[in-house]
Amino acid sequence: MKAFVMRSIGKVGFEDKPVPDNPGPNGAIIQTSCALVCTSDTHTVSGGIGERTNLTLGHEAVGTIHRLGSDVKTHLKEGDRVAVNAITPCYRCENCLRGYSSQCSEMLGGWKFANIKDEVFAEYFHVSDAEANLVPIPEAVPDEAAVYTCDMMSTGFIGAENASIPIGGTVAVFAQGPVGLMATAGARLLGAGLVIAVESIPNRLELARHFGADVVIDFQKEDPVEGILDITGGCGVDSAIEALGARDTFEDCVKVTRPGGTISNVGYHGKGEYVMIPRMAWGVGMGEKTIRTALCPGGKERMERLLRLIERGRIDPTPMTTHTFRFEDMEKAFHMMETKEDDILKPLIRFG
């Protein structure tokens, strides 16, 4: 089969690989139907997690069960249309049992796809611990929408969930890439009374309004800290969500959060040795501002809830798909994701 791989740092391309034929007793082999390219795939290729050789990329995909392990007895059968989260914990190790499944075995250890094993930019891929990690997709939910539950919805929504938003409370979301947009949508779903989105790219600002931002601040035209303090009568917001992974936006989150509020980080801080906390805005360490972080929560139970939101019409993530490619044209899709040309947000890849 064809697989789209990271050959080494900075190099990608197609490789012929054997179809994985052994699911193992608890695993499954999935035939891929569609996938999304993620900015973190490009971070991986640029060396974000170190060197990899001929590693199949991708961690956001849905498909049908091609082969199922002999010990998988519940809720799944071959031929089922299924989704799997980008994070696939074991649900047996100490960290999983402590309730931190994204940190499976070790910090960030739930992230196995396209990190420690070949993954979804291929015609077939393997999923371990299928009973806990695979979820059937409801009939009313098309693959093109379900694929957003793998990472974008789960990550964006945990940004909002971790932000401890009081009902009717005020929220600022820094950056409106796909994760930030889903944090905006998540804040609305959780009952925020005012959602302020910070971004500068026009199509992202437009989508921010579409997904529920009441106010958008273009940081190229206005200082976002001043803008947010203005809108909130100088108080600051109850909750600030960092959805970019940059020092400046993280510091701005601390500055705009009111005492007792929460800073929720879902951005991937890919550069530099340190992330700084602005001392005065932190109440010199006594402002009762909480900082929380998360890695995309996985597992069947969460995936079922995310799919229910689509099935019941609470959200339609598909306006984030700005481009569609056939798998053969993966190289172009990947390159555009690196350069962000043509205001690309999420490229959908179709297989078969």
Interacting residue ranges for Zn ion, rule: CB under 5 A: 38, 89-90, 93, 96, 104, 151
Q: How far is the CB of 99 from Zn ion (least distance, A)?
A: 11
Question: Tokens 């490009």 appear where?
Answer: 42
Between residues 291 and 295, which has the closer beta carbon with respect to Zn ion? 295
Which residue in 129, 216, 125, 211 sits closest to 174, CA to CA?
216
Min CB(135)–Zn ion separation in Å:
17
Q: Distance (Å, rounded) from C-alpha 147 to C-alpha 197?
A: 24
| Smallest distance from Zn ion to CB 180, Å | 13
For residues 205 and 181, give the distance between their C-alpha atoms in angstroms, rounded to a whole number: 9
Closer Cβ to Zn ion, 114 or 190, answer by number: 114
Shortest distance (Å) from residue 172 CB to Zn ion: 23
Report which residue type is found at 313.
G
Shorter beta-carbon distance to Zn ion: residue 224 or 297: 297
* Contact call for residues 5 and 14 (beta carbons, < 8 A): yes
Rounded Cα distance, 335 and 12, in Å: 10
Please answer whether residues 213 and 184 qualify as being in contact, where contact means their C-beta atoms are separated by less than 8 angstroms: yes
Nearest to 132, CA basis, from 99, 94, 102, 89: 89
Q: How many CB atoms lie within 10 A of CB 238?
A: 23
Task: Output 38 or 237, the one with its CB closest to Zn ion.
Answer: 38
Least CB distance from residue 150 to Zn ion, whole Å? 7
| 68 vs 90 by CB, closer to Zn ion | 90
Question: Which one, 104 or 183, has the nearer CB to Zn ion?
Answer: 104
Report the first-to-last Cα separation within the chain, whole angstroms: 12
In angstroms, give the least distance from the CB of 36 to Zn ion: 7
Query: 214 or 338, CB closer to Zn ion?
Result: 338
In 3D space, the residue among 120, 140, 136, 14 whose CA is nearest the CA of residue 57 turns out to be 120
Indicate the residue whose CB is closest to Zn ion.
38
> Cα 228 to the chain's mean position, in Å?
25
Least Cβ distance, residue 324 to Zn ion (angstroms): 17
